[in-house]
Amino acid sequence: MINDIIAIIQDYWLLLLIGQYPNGPLGGLANTLILSALSIGLAFPFSILLALARLSKWSFLRWPVTVLVYVTRGVPLLMLILWSYFLVPLLTGADVPSFVTMLTTLVVYQAAFLSEVVRAGIVALGHGQMEAAKALGHGYFGAMRFVILPQALYNMIPSILSTFVSTIKDTTLGYVINVPDLTFAASQVNNQLLTQPFQVFLILAVIYYAICWSLTHVAYRLERRITRRRAGLTGVRPTAVIAPVKIVSEQL
Amino acid sequence: MTGFDLSEILTNPEFVAMLLHGIEMTFIIAIGSWLLAMTLAILLLALRFAPGRFGNAFVAGYVSYHRNVPTLVQLMLWYFGIFTLLPDWLTYWLASHNAEAIFAIIGLGLCQAAYFSEDLRSGLRSVSPGQMEAARALGHGYISAMRFVLMPQGVRNALPPLINHSVSLFKNSSLGVVIGASELTHAVKEIENLSFRTFEIYLIGTVLYLFFSLLIMAGGAYLTMRADPATRARA
């Protein structure tokens, strides 16, 4: 078993890493990471606009966004991918690569999810910040730009990172429309070997685990640091603050 | 192919039968894996609180694996990988008993158990430790204190995340299509191939998923309201 796994990695590591790149489209792990990074990068500015619209006092801005958020929360991502696969070529009138289809879906989907994160971040700051900024002579946009968003976004860094992790996991669904990502590369390997599906998919699972686990870990570390800084405990040793809480709650 | 026409699909008995079968299968997978997930989650929770470090480390590993590996990859590992490692008699038995749906239930259930057990754990952790001491002082044993004092409060705290994760479990049942389970998404794709009315059938599928998801969310909101002592009187 172990020998099989090592042999597969030795034979196919390049395919799993970059797909058939020099001779074909970029694929594999590289494409998975590019796709996730691009979708989060593009979804982020949209999510801020959506969050501001959802917090707006005008219902014609609030309603469409609320509907969008509920639709993305209530419909499987797979269904949305099928929609884009059908609609994107129809609307653009061009033969769109599956990578772009997947990117479009993920941007819409993650923008809706992130907008909830941004909204929570803004609401958590409380009214006082906005009122103080207005009292200092900022308009709505000035207050958002210089007072509210810098604080809200800083507090949200861990949530954004965990959204990035779920985006990496969501890119696997591109498999159904043949996006050349890591999952696709693994199923190519499986189709060539035919006899060792368990070994191939185990390798796939381990690769995803390694990436997502390390990112989750970074998010967790960042979250603790930010919580401490928010509480004004920058110089204090972390163990002194965190440890008693943990001991009490683990006594169950 | 002419303009938008839902009746083309909704008046065709064959398509309606396929849709109904899809909905039925989606519910079998969703409810089956929910029950499996909840049972496992409670077992995992018991292991987590059991004395000794082995149980704790095992559960931490279990949760970490299921949260960090994409659900689709877990399903593929089950259906394409582990299925082939089973002894022959079991493979035959499974193949003649809708193996796709069974593996969808196992894969989704095991995955969701990790989320449910973490939800329950954080719900229990926010119950004050004094509750356990008070229950013990009143003569409850550990199990009975858990059952009558801590769990009711813990589950109440854990309700919102549990409901969110139940909705995602329902949505994730659509992943069954990748391993060939004949659930709603599968039915939608089949009907698309037969009728060429892509827009109409996708719309029907989307509306059905949205309807059931919103129903679960609304049921969850009602439960949360009922469980909260502050709003119980109004419910």
Beta bridge partners of A19: A26
Residue range A13-186 forms a domain whose CATH class is mainly alpha
CA atoms within 13 A on the CB side of B84: 13
pLDDT higher than threshold 90 for residue A193: no
Q: What is the mean pLDDT of residues B192-204?
A: 91
Query: Which of A95-99, A215-219, B35-39, B141-145: highest mean pLDDT?
Result: B35-39
- In chain A, domain spans: 13-186
pLDDT digit string, tens, across residues B7-64: 888 888 899 999 999 999 999 999 999 999 999 999 999 898 888 788 889 999 999 9
pTM of structure? 0.87
Q: Where residue A105 falls among pLDDT bands split at 50, 70, 90?
A: very high
| In the predicted structure, residue B232 carries a pLDDT above the cut 90 | no
**Cβ <8 Å between B129 and A251:** yes
Which among A76, A186, A62, A195 has a CA at the least distance from the CA of A119?
A62
B124/A252 Cβ within 8 A: yes
ipTM, two decimals: 0.88
Q: To probe the interface with A, which of B53, B67, B69 has the most A CB atoms within 10 Å?
A: B69
Q: What's residue A238's pLDDT?
A: 47
Domain ranges, ordered by start, for chain B = 7-232
Residue A79 has pLDDT above 80, yes or no: yes
Residue A96 burial (CB < 10 Å; 0-12/13-18/19+)? middle
Q: Does A200 touch chain B (CB under 8 A)?
A: yes
A251 pLDDT band, cuts 50/70/90, is very low
Name residue A26's beta-bridge partners.
Answer: A19
**Cβ contact B202–A173 (<8 Å):** no
CB A138 within 8 A of CB A147: yes
pLDDT value at position B3?
A: 75
Distance between CA atoms of B46 and B61, rounded to whole angstroms?
Answer: 15
Given the structure tokens 């499996």, which residue do they identify?
A: B36
Q: Tokens standing for A187?
A: 């199923």
Do A175 and B129 count as a contact with CB atoms less than 8 A apart?
no
Output the pLDDT for position B218: 94
**What stretch of H or E contains A73?**
helix A59-74
| Helices within B138-150 (DSSP H only) | 142-145
What is the least distance, in Å, from the CA of B185 to any CA of chain A? 7
Q: How many CB pairs under 8 A join A and B?
A: 123
pLDDT at B8: 80
- Write down the pLDDT at residue A24: 79
- Tell me, what's the pLDDT at A240? 41
**Best residue of B26, B72, B110 to probe chain A, by most A CBs closer than 10 Å:** B72
∠ at Cα B102 (B101, B108), nearest 5°? 85
Contact A169/B at CB under 8 A: yes
Q: Do A252 and B65 touch (CB under 8 A)?
A: no
Min Cα–Cα distance to chain A from B104, Å: 15
Q: What is the CATH number of domain B7-232?
A: 1.10.3720.10
Predicted local distance difference test score (pLDDT) of residue A155: 86
Encode pLDDT of A9-57 as tens digits.
888 888 888 888 888 788 889 999 999 999 999 999 999 999 999 998 8
Pairwise CB contact (< 8 Å): B72 & A175: yes
**Helix count (H) and strand count (E) of chain B?**
13, 0
Q: Are B9 and B15 in contact (CB under 8 A)?
A: yes
For residue A245, the model assigns a pLDDT of 34
Give the rounded percent of residues in chain B with a pLDDT score beyond 70.
97
Residue whose structure tokens are 């479990």: B169
pLDDT higher than threshold 70 for residue A244: no
Neighbours of B75 (CB within 10 A): 25
Residue of A nearest to B145 (CA): A252
Q: Which of A201, A203, A214 to mutate to test the interface with B (most CBs of B within 10 A)?
A: A201
Residues of B in contact with A251 (CB under 8 A): 129, 132
Q: Please indicate whether, in this complex, the C-beta atoms of B81 and A198 are within 8 angstroms of each other.
A: yes
> Cβ of A202 under 8 Å from any chain B Cβ?
yes
Residue A76 corresponds to which amino acid? P
Cβ count near A40 (within 10 Å): 22
List, as one string, the DSSP characters of A180-241: -SHHHHHHHHHHHH-S-HHHHHHHHHHHHHHHHHHHHHHHHHHHHHHHHHHTT-TTS-HHHH
Write down the pLDDT at residue A236: 53
Residue-wise pLDDT tens digits, A128-137: 899 999 999 9
